[in-house]
Amino acid sequence: MNPRLDALQPYPFEKLRALHAGVVLPSGLRPVNLSIGEPKHPTPAFIEQAIIANLSGLSGYPPTLGPLSLRTAIAQWLQKRYALPLIDPATQVLPVLGSREALFSFVQTVIDPAHGGVVLSPNPFYQIYEGAALLAGARIEFVNDDPSRGFACDWDSVPESIWQDTRLVFTCSPGNPAGHVMSLDEWKTLFDRADKYGFVIAADECYSEIYLDEAAPPIGALEAAHKLGRTDFRNLMIFSSLSKRSNVPGMRSGFVAGDAKLVKKFLLYRTYHGCAMSGVVAAASEAAWLDEAHVVENRRLYREKFDAVVPILQGKIDVKRPPASFYLWAGVKGDDTAFARDLLQTEAVTVLPGSYLARDAWGRNPGAGRIRIALVAPLADCVEAAERIARFATTR
């Protein structure tokens, strides 16, 4: 067996199941689960119809590169969304089976197993970053967030010795769990270091289309690179997904885009990896990327939840409305795991302890004392859960 598997930690939801062992739910209260970031809004009907209309696509093996029409639709979406110059669908875009699969396999492409090196990750973080780094033979190092700066990563805290050994840096903007959006200045800092030390940046943008101000869409990594004169997107790859944007997590559809040299190497890896997108999924994905009306409506639904829930919780727990994502990253009194367990036992509401989303690094666990609340349930359920959380926090 691969000995590197022994380095993997249980996934946050495995820890949550263990935490809940033996909990007896209160009678008379319907359980509300706000722990998992799984979209619950209905899948748009036109996407479902696109699947039905293209079932004949099951009769052949799909190309790893994906159909040109899908890559063209993605390239056009990138150009419009981020005011970019021409994106070449032949060399700068590659469909993938959701961002999770691509994030993992991309690390295996970038890291030289003979030399390893360091993979830098935000902290808190998406656990795929850690697992991918460890299984590729790299060392994972964490960059703690800074609550005083809206939970931005404290890149200046990373020692020179670590930067010198860094091969890959993960970013997540808008961030999971705090919803922080990287500024152009933050991107410049990271790009300057990438030029100095030669590492690759993997920009996870799966929450890019879940933002709360229609007039202020989050800046993307390719957009930042273009504004800073990095028109070749050197050493930069973005990872995007339809799961959150279009409410199709079960479709497992996304794309990577960026540096043509990286795309070429990643495509080579994927021809052996065996993860070509079905023609059925490709047709539905193309329809989704070509439509924005359903995405605007999706944001409206999330905005409605934030408008209703945040006032209920403010003053009861430490919570602020984020600029993007569908999470509340809330501070609670005392131990976050005890809070989450007692909340379930008392109010039948499930949330995720913040410490499960982070690691002890540089003398602290930046998730400790916080909970992640995913506003994915229907509005009425989110409101009822917020009222229960507020009641629990007041009487605890």
Residue 134 and residue 155 in contact, taking contact as beta carbons nearer than 8 Å: no
Q: Are residues 279 and 192 in the same domain?
A: yes
Confidence of residue 166 (pLDDT cuts 50, 70, 90): very high
Q: Are residues 233 and 276 in the same domain?
A: yes
Q: Are residues 229 and 333 in the same domain?
A: no
Q: Are residues 175 and 281 in the same domain?
A: yes
CA dist 330 and 81 (Å) reads 30
CA dist 19 and 132 (Å) reads 25
pLDDT for the residue numbered 57? 85
pLDDT for the residue numbered 396? 83
pLDDT beyond 90 at 186: yes
- Average pLDDT estimate for 372-391: 98
> Angle CA(303)–CA(305)–CA(311) in degrees, nearest 5?
105
Tell me whether residue 272 is in a domain.
yes
Q: Are residues 148 and 160 in the same domain?
A: yes
Q: Are residues 79 and 108 in the same domain?
A: yes
Q: For residue 228, how many other CB atoms are within 10 A of its CB?
A: 13
Q: Are residues 360 and 263 in the same domain?
A: no
Query: Any idea what DSSP says for residue 160?
Result: H
355 Cβ contact list (under 8 Å, min separation 6): 336, 337, 365, 367, 368, 369, 370
Q: Give the CATH number, domain containing residue 34.
A: 3.90.1150.10
Last-in-domain residue among 239, 273, 291: 291
pLDDT for the residue numbered 7? 95
Burial pattern 275-287, b for ≥16 Cβ within 10 A else e, equals: bbbbbbbbbbbbb
Confidence of residue 161 (pLDDT cuts 50, 70, 90): very high
Residue percentage of the chain with pLDDT more than 90: 98
Dihedrals φ, ψ of 179, to 5°?
Answer: 75, 15
Q: Are residues 157 and 34 in the same domain?
A: no
Q: Are residues 72 and 213 in the same domain?
A: yes
Tell me whether residue 28 is in a domain.
yes
Last-in-domain residue among 232, 264, 291: 291
Report pLDDT digits (tens) over 233-288: 999 999 999 999 999 999 999 999 999 999 999 999 999 998 999 999 999 999 99
Last-in-domain residue among 291, 311, 344: 291
* Cut 0.95: pTM above it: yes
CA dist 350 and 383 (Å) reads 14
Q: Is 4 left (phi over 0), alpha (psi -120 to 50) or beta?
A: alpha
Report pLDDT digits (tens) over 277-330: 999 999 999 999 999 999 999 999 999 999 999 999 999 999 999 999 999 999
Confidence of residue 344 (pLDDT cuts 50, 70, 90): very high
Q: Are residues 247 and 380 in the same domain?
A: no
At 274, list the tokens.
Answer: 């065996």
Q: Are residues 258 and 232 in the same domain?
A: yes
Tell me the pLDDT of the chain averaged across its residues: 97
Tell me whether residue 26 is in a domain.
yes
pLDDT beyond 90 at 53: yes
Place of tokens 């799961």: 243
Q: Give the CATH number, domain containing residue 241.
A: 3.40.640.10
One-letter amino acid of 220 = G
Structural domain boundaries, residue 20: 3-42+294-395
> How many domains are contained in the chain?
2
pLDDT for the residue numbered 122? 98
Report pLDDT digits (tens) over 191-216: 999 999 999 999 999 999 999 999 99
